[in-house]
Amino acid sequence: MEIKLNTSKIKTIRIGDKNYPEKLMNIYGRPQTLYILGNETLLNEKSIAIIGCRNASNYGLRSAYQFGYELAKKGICIISGFARGIDTYAHKGALAAKGKTIAVLGCGLNVIYPPENMELYKQILIKGGAIITEYPLESKPERHHFPIRNRIISGLSDGVLVVEAKKKSGTLITVEYALEQGKEVYAIPGNITSENSEGTNELIKEGAIPVTKIEDFMV
């Protein structure tokens, strides 16, 4: 779904600009250009990315909302990808706590994807958050955009929380970026009979920090 934007409100940051996010300067394949709506100062604040699958369980949705809420209450910015499922509920939890959140899109700023998140898009901006992308206006949400943009989600964060992930999923691509970037990886333990928890439980076996309460975060 495309919307009309006041283009004068879009900020463009390029490599070499003074306000280019320091965290992104240190990652491989850093974006040449960022297009931003909202509060650009959030790009340099302490933050946690909350990620997971689109077809999440109720357990996963509740967990994403809860940790989005509790972390935001502690003044930590919540970063996610604006997708259905875990991403959406992480953003909503942060907003409910009157905290700040950054949505990293895999399309242009004037393209709402998924379309049912139109109201969430508005609320992120109204409540002092930011919406960012490396894709210019009119760019469609092409499938190959999303794995690529995941390096920005992890790159801007100080740690990544995986709520639910199948054994082979786009979420685990973000984890690979996070590990490459030297970020802390957290995972919520899940039901051993759930396909949605195969990835998270495996991450914990491999050394991710298991999270069951807010005190488990090292931020």
| Residue ranges covered by each domain of the chain | 7-216
CA 72 to chain centre: 13
- Give the residue among 114, 104, 157 at the shortest CA–CA distance from 135: 104
Which CATH number does 7-216 carry?
Answer: 3.40.50.450
Q: Is 66 helix (H, G, I), strand (E, B) or coil?
A: helix
- The tens digit of pLDDT for each residue in 162-202 reads 999 998 888 999 999 999 999 999 999 999 999 999 999 99
The whole-number pLDDT of residue 168 equals 81
What is the biggest distance separating any 2 CA atoms in the chain, rounded to whole angstroms? 50
Beginning with the edge strand found earlier in the chain, give each strand of the sheet holding 130-133 in spatial order. 11-14, 33-38, 130-133, 101-104, 77-80, 47-51, 159-162, 184-187, 209-210
The whole-number pLDDT of residue 7 equals 77
Which residues does the chain have with pLDDT short of 50? Answer: none
Q: Is 117 helix (H, G, I), strand (E, B) or coil?
A: helix
The whole-number pLDDT of residue 71 equals 98
